[in-house]
Structure 1
Amino acid sequence: MNHFFHKKTSLLLVLSFLLSSTAMAQQTYRNESLSIDIRVKDLLSKLTLTEKASLLGYRSEAVPRLNIPAYNWWNEGLHGVARAGEATVFPQAIALAATFNQELVQSVSNVISTEARAKYNLSTAKGRHLQYMGLTYWTPNINIFRDPRWGRGQETYGEDPFLTSQIGTSFVKGLQGSDPSHLKIASAAKHFVAHSGPEATRDYFDAIVDEKDLRETYMYAFHKLVNSGVESIMTAYNRVNGTPNSVNKHLIQDVLRKEWGFKGHVVTDCGALDDVFLTHKTIPNATETAAAAIKAGIDLDCSTVLQRDVVKAVQQKLLTEKEVDVALSRLLKTQFKLGFFDDATKSPFYNFRADSIHNKQHVELARKAAIQSMVLLKNTNNLLPLKEANYSAIMVVGPNAASLDAMLGSYHGLSSKVVNIVEGITGAVDPATRVEYDLGCDYSDTTHFGGIWAAGNADITIAVLGLSPVLEGEAGDAFLAENGGDKKNLSLPASEIAYMKALRKSVKKPIIAVITAGSAVDVSAIADYADAIIFAWYPGEQGGNALADIVFGKVNPSGRLPVTFYNSVSDLPPYENYNMKNRTYRYFQGQVQYPFGFGLSYTTFNYESKAMPKSRYNTSDTITVTLAVKNVGNVDGEEVVQAYVKYPSVDRMPLKELKSFQRINVVQGEFENITMKIPVSELKKWDLSTHKWKLYPGTYQLVLGSSSADEKLTASFQIN
């Protein structure tokens, strides 16, 4: 009996061990103590080919037997959590670039990721797996705003590759957090590559661009963001030199993955794989396209091509299951980094809830960002800032003065407390001050105007005009745009120009023009009718308060233009031409209205050299310069010191290029010392004959100033 008992006990122990071992093996991918690679490999081994295919689309399907819920990868956060209810709405991306402030931009994106996590926590707690409330965000847009006609240029950080890379890197850091193994949210830099319009033909457009422009201009920021750890890259709709981006093996596998060492996942833009066989027609059908996409390096499809056709492609031997595993493993790795298969209560972000969304601190940051983005273009006789005591009656007019669209921009969130320009001005003055408002004009009628008589009775008029996201933007969204989302020219609406002319004719008191837009416009058309002009972009939910802060001198304007304001598009090459010759401040040789980097202040800054560059440098060196910036005006202010490099006289060299910048606050009458550094390796250019980067020997010049056209300090140096 005793022998039987021991035998039975031993058998039970063995069975228990085997059962527990089997259970552990089945749950390896749930074991948080193991490496992500081991967990991914285990989960892959448990999935059938059909299940694997079901996870390759942006509407990732549930796998109930493994307790994997459905997930929607598509989320937007260009300048705040978008399309997901209450959120803090920051200034549009082009306005964030106008701050020339990496630290501020990182703070903004840190708030965006905090609100994204909070919304995810709140929605999943209710069993919801909603689009726009996930943790994979398809932002930032780091395409180069090469031509002011492009409607989506407002989503970018401007025309300069270096500025784009600096602002973009800071934005990604704020989104993803500081722990690469535990992402706060995942960021996807888009749209790879050479995607800057036209909008109307983007689904079949072929961008013809040589390797030099591709490397130095269109791919530069993508490379920098890859080096900084961006989790995802989104491919663009268009072709590049004949090959659609989403099946471009050379660009994705050879350059992005092998040459640059990108380890994250690649997602297509929405419907881009359908475009391959329906509009580009470079591949005959969906099944062959699915195979080509996986082989090219695509991991996630923002449509249903991979989900529908990957299994067929494997069955037809166009693809192997191992290749499918490689793609899916990269997606799963992102999800593991986000904690999808971990105990949610252990996440450092688990306690982010409603109090982390649109709170007082976030709103204050939105106001600060809007303030630093607005650009003072004109200030005749130092009209601004206004002394409130001198203006007992204020008239606010214009089609964008109370416009919600003009505050939000494209790819926007929603706030229950948006402050438009009318509200901002009204709230900033004493109750004893009279403020009136009139729409004034619309976007089309050039003969019927309002508010002119009332403006004549006021001490000052603030006219708010410009564009809106329905006049410029993405194809389909900007439904009033003249060219499929794009602009045909730089003109403001003719009705606004006529209105400003009529206003100036009848009103003898000062007029301040405020222009909202996401791109360069022809300011000269209304410049003679205004005593001061502020370019406000699409300033976000605190735009009205920010403008009032600037107008009444609570703060000093300090925004800088991240794009060139040309006189006319006739000065530029054809819109469809992707050659950089005669485009942007780097190559444009004509006269402009306002240069890249321009922005006025209420004060004046002088520069004094403290330590200028050495006379000679080698490839491994760093150029270092120290200068004193003195505020010689009457008020405190912030200066954006910009360092440009002029190159030796070699064919296709840029005229100059931004290579460093620094925003500093300088108290009136005081000075601040700053040091700027430029690695000599940053001066390399692409050699078309060797297909490599090359540092050209010769004489270079460092130029320090407050814009691309300003030369306060210069110094020449040699590169060996």
Structure 2
Amino acid sequence: MKATLLFLVMAVLLGTAAFTLRQEEDYDYPFQNPSLSFEARVNDLVSRLTLEEKVAQMLNAAPAIERLGIPSYDWWNEVLHGVARTPYKVTVYPQAIGMAATFDTTSLYHMADFSALEGRAIYNKAIEEGKSGQRYVGLTYWTPNINIFRDPRWGRGQETYGEDPFLTAMLGRAFVRGLQGEDPKYMKAAACAKHYAVHSGPEPERHVFNATASNYDLWDTYLPAFEELVVNAKVAGVMCAYNAFRGQPCCGSDILMNDILRNQWQFTGYVTSDCWAIDDFFKNHKTHPDAASASADAVMHGTDIDCGTDAYKSLVQAVKEGKITERQIDLSVKRLFTIRFKLGMFDPVAMVKYAQTPASVLESAPHKAHALKMAQQSMVLLKNEKNTLPLRKNLKKIAVIGPNADNPIAVLGNYNGTPSEIVTALQGIRNKVGSNTEVVYERASTFTKDTLLAYTDISKQLTFNGKPGVQAEYFNNKELQGQPVAVRQEPGISHNWQEGETVIGSMKAYNFSARYTTDFTATSNGSITLEVEGDDGYRLLVDGKEQLNAWTRNRWGARSYKLPTQQNKTYRLVLEYYQGEGKASVHLRAGNFARTDFKALANRVKDADAIVYVGGISPQLEGEEMKVDEPGFAGGDRTTILLPKVQTDLMKALKATGKPVVFVMMTGSAIAIPWEAENVPAIVNAWYAGQSAGTAIADVLFGDYNPAGRLPVTFYKSDQDLPPFGDYTMEGRTYKYFKGQPLYGFGHGLSYTTFTYDQLKIPTSGKVNSPVTVSVRVTNSGKMDGEEVVQLYTSRQAAGFKTPIRALKGFQRIALKKGESKVVTFTLRPQDLTVIDESGNARHVPGTILFSVGGSQPDASTKKIKKTVEGVIALN
């Protein structure tokens, strides 16, 4: 009677959902009882599974266990800079490299917190709609990417927090804490540190590459961020990389997985392979003879999930053949269910506060405001000669030119979601100046070519079976096989889908194909160019003859065919398309190519009061394992870091007008811009700044926001500054070891105001293996309110040890009104003052350390006012 009364009281307090709770003796199994510990519940659950059921749970798409009431679950989800690839509209923040440029751990924490809330809302919504168990609606996010951006040619560097281990560690820690939440029992979401551990290109070789790095570089560069997230931030998961390390695949590495991760760091969370990485063991690295041997070895090295393939299904055979014990399988399955229990997936909604997150948080006002704030914070003012910026808002005419000026794809980066509204640079400028200023726009060129396709609307010339438009057939496989799941008439061919979004009926936008058939009737003699753009593969047939074939992975790839035409003649067009993983898109456009005359264009805009050129590169060119047929790009990576020549040529023509030219550069990586740095008066690096990119750009250009972003990577002068891409030695790489003169150094960024530093306080001596406190006064000595990123670097020489030129060991972003001063204090941990020996051990050694504190590195090679103060401490 007392137990029943207690339950009724709990039900009233917790709400109707609490009625799913029952007295302990009423549970069918102990694992269903929320009053027991997670460990006890997991042990009970796993003890009830067959070997086949256990193995099936080790695939990313874990099936339901209906006899025990365990629902299906797909571990695969992404939240790099907002929830990604979901079929729902979400808030999209700046790409990770742009968020790193904020140098603001608090902003990153809030971004992760907001993204986790949106992820919870999506998870809850998916359950309500009967979509739980599908990909990209779960709560296990394979983020953050904390690889070190050691070489600017790497296309996936945009997903990282830059080249510095300390910055990466601090930002990554803030992200993990924001995403996983502060609840003592339940996680809001589960973060995953990737790609463990020595992984940063080249992309085309990632499935076969064997990375080698000295113990010094391993522990000085490649491991610190992972150690911080595993040991201190308590990240829930780790993803092991595709490539091999010292001859062993990373997911089967004695050093990385067993020795360091599980033994030294005592990591008890789960490990997932990168997707298809287990297949690489026996298909590409050739280190194992078959799937069973590869799978057993990966599990014995602590890899709990096989993503993307079904290699782990062979674990049943491996156990029977004695390659691995069922007890080792149990360990992995327990780790996996522990995560699901900690996420509250098996407890009543009323017990898990995050499970009550409403759909109204999606794109909520605070989230959108924070996306704008982070976009503003990410803007880096590289150059501002003669106070070209900020521009006046009452200008009569502004010319906005360039391939990124009105490009919504670029601002979203990669691994992104889809927001309800995207503001491009062009739209942001138009919104800012209003109707009193004439804004003229010309794309002018592609990223690499001065020839553009002038599009023509051919929709009225397309028919099928006498009806306007196109017949679309959709297949639930990538091979156009069998009967289509749906056939319908569409007005044209123009689609963008997020992976997991519904294409038609119950068919999702991955692992599907489509055939579009239409009759095109020409209205004149001559020719018309048909352009197809698709992601992943496509082919175009005209009157039964294949004219375009891109039936291989071809993300965001466009191809064209020039069709000779006769007036009133009809041509049968068939476009076949398939999509595997990732975003899906297919477009058929028509028009005629024309070369842009840059001098004529410059003559057309010479009466403008200012010219804003928006160029750079785009995730259409750099990214993950892409096929890109453009000069300077290969496989998602770059073969040169120089800005494409066509853009420099165009800016030369624009500069010849004599009007002020502002270069707004979008990029996910460092670009060499030697001519622009010398000749263009104002340069803003805008990254891929998310849904509010255009608003943030306009705010900076017109002075409504005073920029304070800093470069999280070194901008080199030329390709000659770079060691070979495949060499993982850090000698000559990043600001820590590069002995040359960069174009713009790590930590560089200008402001519309000035700051002065004084009253540096550093103890003259200290004890090794003890913390050190450093403080400095910072004053806004200029004429505008603004923000400053205060950076602390250490530099030392220790006999018998290799040391970097300097190393970032502290940073704070502060806001100061004009004339205001603030004392900034840093407390360096003992590990921040160690040196790394040849064996990779962190050593506390006596000696002298130089501290430099300022708004940049102490030897910044720019024309900004030098504002660094220095002091020395002797450790005994």
Alpha-carbon contact 1:566-1:594 (below 8 Å) kept: yes
SS in 2 for 1:394: strand
Q: Is the 8 A contact 2:319 2:326 kept in 1?
A: yes
* Displacement after TM superposition at 1:43 (Å): 0.2
Q: Which amino acid aligns with 2:777?
A: A
- Report the equivalent of 2:870: 714
Q: Which residue of 1 aligns with 2:661?
A: 511
The 5-angstrom pairing of residues 200-211 of structure 1 reads: 200-211=204-215
**What do residues 330-351 of structure 1 show as CA deviations (whole Å, max 9, x unaligned)?**
0000000011111134321233
Contact 2:84 2:136 in 1 (8 A): yes
* Equivalent in 448, 452, 459 of residue 596 of structure 2: 448
* Secondary structure in structure 1 of the residue aligned to 2:435: coil
Find the aligned partners of 1:317 and 1:58 in 2 and give their Cα distance.
Answer: 24
| Matching residue's letter, 1:165 | A
Does the CA contact (< 8 Å) of 1:443 and 1:493 recur in 2? yes
Tell me what 2:77 maps to.
75
Deviation at 1:126, TM superposition (A): 1.2
More strand, by proportion:
2
Distance 1:477 1:187, change over 3 A: farther
Distance in 2 of aligned mates of 1:285 and 1:218:
30
Contact 2:27 2:33 in 1 (8 A): no
What does residue 96 of structure 1 align with? 99
The answer on whether the counterparts of 2:856 and 2:868 sit within 8 Å (CA) in structure 1 is: no
**1:148 alignment counterpart:** 152
Q: Distance in 2 between matches of 1:693 and 1:644?
A: 18
Cα offsets for 1:448-487 (capped at 9, x unmatched): 2464333212111111000000211110376757221110
Q: Does 1:546 align with 2:696?
A: yes
Summarize the Cα distance change of 1:91–1:477 in structure 2 as closer, same or farther, 3 Å threshold.
farther
Please give the alpha-carbon distance, in whole angstroms, between the structure 2 residues aligned to 1:700 and 1:432: 57
Question: Does the 8 A contact of 1:267 with 1:300 survive in 2?
Answer: yes
Number of residue pairs the alignment of both structures matches: 697
After superposition, what is the alpha-carbon deviation per residue over 1:594-616, rounded to whole angstroms, capped at 9, x for unaligned? Answer: 01000000011000125x22122
Q: Distance in 2 between matches of 1:238 and 1:683?
A: 32
Q: Quick one: distance in 2 between partners of 1:337 and 1:465?
A: 46
Q: Deviations over 1:46-68 (max 9, x none)?
A: 11111001100001111111111
Spell out the pairing of 1:325-364 with structure 2 (5 A cutoff).
325-364=330-369
Could you tell me which residue of structure 2 aligns to residue 601 of structure 1? 751
* Deviation for aligned residue 1:317: 0.7
Letter in structure 2 aligned against 1:273: I
Q: Which residue of 2 aligns with 1:244?
A: 249
What are the within-5 Å matches in structure 2 for residues 225-304 of structure 1? 225-226=229-230, 227-304=232-309
Q: Does 1:499 align with 2:650?
A: yes
Q: Determine the structure 1 residue equivalent to 2:633.
A: 482
**Pick aligned residue for 2:119 from 116, 121, 125:** 116
| Pairing partner for 2:793 from 621, 624, 644 | 644
Q: Does structure 1 retain, via aligned residues, the 8 Å contact 2:768–2:845?
A: no
Structure that is richer in helix per residue: 1
Asked if 1 retains the 8 angstrom alpha-carbon contact of 2:447 and 2:616, the reply is no
Cα distance in 2, alignment partners of residues 231 and 692 from structure 1: 26
Cα offset for 1:410? 1.0
Q: Could you tell me which amino acid in structure 2 is paired with residue 460 of structure 1? A: A
Over 3 Å counting, the alpha-carbon distance change for 1:523 and 1:231 in structure 2 is: same
Q: Is the 8 A contact 1:603 1:635 kept in 2?
A: yes
Give runs of ≥4 in structure 1 deviating > 3 Å.
20-26, 304-307, 477-481
Q: 1:634 aligns with which of 763, 770, 783?
A: 783
1:433 corresponds to which of 431, 434, 437: 437
Displacement of 1:303 after TM fit? 2.8
Give the whole-Å Cα distance in 1 for the aligned partners of 2:289 and 2:326.
22
Tell me the amino acid that sits aligned with residue 847 of structure 2: G
Deviation at 1:179, TM superposition (A): 2.1
Moved more, 706-715 or 534-543: 706-715
Q: Secondary structure at the match of 1:349?
A: helix
Farther off after superposition, 691-700 or 260-269: 691-700
Equivalent position amino acid for 2:868 in 1? K
| CA–CA separation in structure 1 for the residues paired with 2:55 and 2:822 | 59
**How far apart are 1:672 and its partner, in Å?**
1.0
Q: Which residue does 1:61 correspond to in 2?
A: 63
Alignment partner, residue 409 of structure 1: 413
2:275/2:309 contact within 8 Å kept: no
- In 2, distance between residues paired with 1:449 and 1:660? 49
Gaps of 5+ in 2: 1-21, 451-594, 861-866
Aligned-residue sequence identity (percent) comes to 43
Distance in 2 between residues matched to 1:45 and 1:680, nearest whole Å: 45
8 Å contact from structure 1 (residues 29, 40) kept in 2: yes
TM-score normalized by the length of structure 1: 0.94
Question: CA 1:315–1:180 in 2, change beyond 3 Å: closer, same or farther?
Answer: farther
Letter in 1 for 2:854: G
Letter in 2 for 1:376: L
> Secondary structure in 1 aligned to 2:774?
strand
Bigger Cα displacement from structure 2, 201-210 vs 21-30:
21-30
Q: Which residue of structure 2 aligns with residue 615 of structure 1?
A: 764
Counterpart CA distance in 2 for 1:418 and 1:574 is 38
Question: Offset of 1:425 from its aligned partner?
Answer: 0.4
2:715 corresponds to 1:565: yes
Q: Deviations over 1:394-419 (max 9, x none)?
A: 11111000001211111111112000
Distance 1:192 1:263 in 2: 15
CA distance in 2 between partners of 1:580 and 1:530 (Å): 33
Partner of 1:88, secondary structure, is coil
Q: For 2:139, which of 135, 158, 163 is the aligned residue? A: 135
Question: How many Å separate the matches in 1 of 2:303 and 2:72?
Answer: 20
Counterpart of 1:347 in structure 2: which amino acid? V
Q: Residue 118 of structure 2 contacts residue 361 of structure 2 at CA under 8 Å; is this kept in 1?
A: yes
Residue 216 of structure 2 corresponds to 212
Mapped partners of 1:316, 1:135: distance in 2: 35
Deviation at 1:211, TM superposition (A): 1.1
Q: Which moved more, 1:241-250 or 1:338-347?
A: 338-347
- The change in CA–CA distance for 1:122 and 1:544 in structure 2 (over 3 A counts) is same
Q: Secondary structure at the match of 1:704?
A: strand
Q: Read off the aligned partner of 2:782 and give its amino acid letter.
A: G
Which residue number in structure 2 is paired with residue 12 of structure 1?
none
Distance in structure 2 (CA, Å) of the matches to 1:376 and 1:25 = 62
Match of residue 4 from structure 1: none
Q: Could you tell me which residue of structure 1 aligns to residue 427 of structure 2?
A: 423
How far is the alpha carbon of 1:444 from its aligned partner? 2.9
2: CA distance, partners of 1:559 / 1:478: 30
Instruction: Return the match for 1:464 from 614, 623, 637.
Output: 614
Amino acid at match of 2:813: R
Distance 1:147 1:334 in 2: 35
**Secondary structure at 2:59 match in 1:** coil
**Inter-partner Cα distance in structure 2 for 1:244 and 1:511:** 50
Secondary structure of 2:822's counterpart equals strand
SS of corresponding position for 1:566: coil
Shift of 1:71: 1.0
Report if aligned partners of 2:447, 2:615 keep a CA contact under 8 Å in 1: no
The farther-off stretch of 666-675 and 366-375 is 666-675
Number of the residue aligned with 1:11: none
Residue 189 of structure 2 corresponds to residue 185 of structure 1: yes
SS at match of 2:191: strand
Asked whether the equivalents of residues 271 and 303 of structure 2 are also in contact (C-alpha less than 8 Å), the reply is yes
User: Could you give the per-residue CA deviations for residues 629-681 of structure 1, whole angstroms, max 9, x where no partner exists?
Assistant: 01111101101010000012444210100000111111101211111111233
